[in-house]
Amino acid sequence: MDRGWRLFLRTIVARAYPRVVGQQRQRTWIFFETFLPFVAVSAYVFVYRALNAPADYIGFVVMGGAMTAFWLNIIWSMSAQMYWEKDNGNLALYIMAPNSLMAILLGMAIGGMFATSLRAAVILILGTWVFQVPFVVSSPAQLFAVFLLTMTALYGMGMLFASLFLLFGRDVWQMNTMLQEPVYFLSGFYFPVKSFGFAVALAASIVPMTLGMDAMRQLTFSSGPSIGFLRVRVEIAVLAVLSIVFITAAKYWLDRMERLAIQEGTLTDRRR
């Protein structure tokens, strides 16, 4: 029997596989989840053009539209996952299995990122081609580091929410909907977060997407440094700290939920 890290890695592959294969069985989903969101991005582009905004703002919109795919994946495919598994009767099986709950969620996240990355790539490529976005990458290494840390912190937050959202029971759907639009706004998906002022932007930085978007804009647009909230190196350091905090907190709450289920013989309900 596999144990330790080998079991952890095999669990990730096993849970990622169904989501990757499932995307191929419903080809229409690929169209609706990639090309239709591009329409919403186009609306913001035309608004900026009507206002004669600088060309870089068109790029802000295209990049923001691409990154929304990852936030939606966190909200609907990660945060509510444990509640949905409980509702479908699978959570008890996950608790009894020797696998780590974090490995199960991580596998689901990686599998979900297949479709998410496809949607983000289509929006980015189409937006760049159709609207002639002027990308000027100043540091590919820093850009890769920012994206990797943003995804790590973001999916760590998703795993944390997956355990905590069990406390809300049937209100999970409302909680997801409540978080979706405010994060679009506070993270500055379609405009520089610096516009909020220091205090509001600092508070919004608890969501990793805020600093991730700000740093990526500074690294990919000529006007990026002038509209940046913090220096890129500072934002990279903060994203690294957020990654550690969210992953540690997720492991603690997932382990606590698993211990409660084993000790009491019942799954976590909304009263806990």
Contacts of 246 (CB under 8 A, 6+ apart): 153, 156, 157, 159, 160, 208
Res 2: pLDDT:
56
Res 233: pLDDT:
93
Q: Radius of gyration (Cα) for the chain, nearest Å? A: 19
Domain parsing of the chain, residue ranges: 4-264
| DSSP output for 104-171 | HHHHHHHHHHHHHHHHHHHHHHHHHHHHT-----S-HHHHHHHHHHHHHHHHHHHHHHHHHGGGGGGG
Res 270: pLDDT:
44
Res 19: pLDDT:
75
Is residue 98 within 8 Å of 10, Cβ to Cβ? no
Q: Both tokens of residue 119? A: 């949607």
Res 267: pLDDT:
58
pLDDT tens digit sequence for 50-106: 988 888 888 888 888 888 888 888 877 777 777 777 777 777 777 777 777 888 888
Res 186: pLDDT:
85
Where do runs of H (alpha helix) occur along the chain? 4-25, 27-50, 55-74, 81-88, 91-96, 101-131, 140-164, 172-186, 198-204, 208-220, 224-227, 232-264
Is residue 235 within 8 Å of 219, Cβ to Cβ? no
Res 271: pLDDT:
45
Res 69: pLDDT:
82
Res 272: pLDDT:
43
pLDDT tens digit sequence for 186-195: 888 888 898 8
pTM of the model: 0.85
Average pLDDT by stretches of 10, the chain with 272 residues: 73 80 68 74 88 87 86 78 76 78 82 79 86 87 93 88 72 72 84 89 91 92 86 94 93 81 59 44
